[in-house]
Amino acid sequence: MIQFEQVSKVYPGGQKALMDVNFHLRKGEMAFLTGHSGAGKSTLLKLITVIERASAGRVAINGHDIASVSAKHVPYLRRNIGMIFQNHHLLMEKTVFDNIALPLVIEGFSHSEIKKRVAGALDMVGLYGKERHQPIMLSGGEQQRVGIARAIVNKPPILLADEPTGNLDPKLSMDILRLFETFNDAGTSVLIATHDLGLIARMKYRTFTLKQGRMIGGEQ
């Protein structure tokens, strides 16, 4: 689903973020991406979502080389990738409903369809009935769930999570991971970037490890 071949990323300042990275996340697979801060996890995710472009090598999504995706088509590419962030990137002045509905509004779904899908997504993350709340009224864990609901509401084939449990206690973190597992069971490919090694150890999934921009001990 996501394939990196000899990918390097050098930022304009000369900082080498990724060096010759190879990895392949298979269709329907769930895996972890780990490494210290500054090892290149964020850069790798940015290359997938075309926030940054690779300096060398080939990044392919669903067999499609993204170097050939023009800026005009990047938005459509991003609609295939649900993204979850550590600080959840919610619109604080909008309601939970509006936040989750955003990808659907962008894609142009009808209002009744949007209502149905948002209710479904809220149900999945366990926040049913909180549509009218503002994110500020929710706890950290609940806000993260709103972010997850927004990421999955248009049923993307790929789910990327950048430190999704960074601000949560172990029990809440485990809940979030169980949630990812349910999406994975439904066929979604999931890649979770985290430095929470304790969390990874308890799960049976493949782990890609980055160290100073290189992929080490990739496949387990």
Q: Which of 6, 15, 51, 137 touches other proteins (CB under 8 A)?
A: 51
Q: How far apart are CA 121 and CA 128, in angstroms?
A: 8
Q: Examine residue 75 and tell whether it contacts other proteins (CB under 8 A).
A: yes
DSSP letter (8 states) at residue 126: T
Pull the structure tokens for residue 40: 């290149």
Q: Examine residue 69 and tell whether it contacts other proteins (CB under 8 A).
A: yes
Q: Which of 103, 135, 164, 213 touches other proteins (CB under 8 A)?
A: 103
Between 103 and 213, CB nearer to other proteins: 103
- Count residues binding other proteins (CB under 8 A): 28
Q: Examine residue 79 and tell whether it contacts other proteins (CB under 8 A).
A: yes
Q: Which of 12, 13, 14, 63 touches other proteins (CB under 8 A)?
A: 63
Q: How far apart are CA 114 and CA 98, in angstroms?
A: 10
- Token pair 């990918």: residue: 7
Q: Examine residue 110 and tell whether it contacts other proteins (CB under 8 A).
A: yes
Q: Which of 106, 137, 197, 216 touches other proteins (CB under 8 A)?
A: 106
3-state helix, strand, coil in the chain (%, to 5): 35, 25, 40
Residue 93 neighbours by CB under 8 Å, 6+ apart: 134
Cβ 41 vs Cβ 208: under 8 Å: no
Q: Which of 26, 36, 73, 211 touches other proteins (CB under 8 A)?
A: 73
Q: Which of 26, 36, 58, 89 touches other proteins (CB under 8 A)?
A: 89
Cβ 16 vs Cβ 10: under 8 Å: yes
- Residue 75: CA count within 13 A, CB half-sphere: 4
Q: Examine residue 78 and tell whether it contacts other proteins (CB under 8 A).
A: yes
- Other Cβ atoms less than 10 A from the Cβ of 1: the count is 19
Piece in contact with other proteins (CB under 8 A), picked from 3-11, 12-20, 76-84, 192-200? 76-84
Q: Examine residue 150 and tell whether it contacts other proteins (CB under 8 A).
A: yes
Cβ 55 vs Cβ 10: under 8 Å: yes
Q: How far is the CB of 198 from other proteins (least distance, A)?
A: 29
Pull the structure tokens for residue 132: 């009218």
Q: Which residues sit opposite 216 in a β-bridge? A: 209
Q: Which of 58, 107, 128, 170 touches other proteins (CB under 8 A)?
A: 107
Q: Examine residue 95 and tell whether it contacts other proteins (CB under 8 A).
A: no
Residues in contact with other proteins by CB under 8 A are: 49, 51, 61-64, 69, 72-73, 75-80, 83, 89-91, 102-103, 105-110, 150
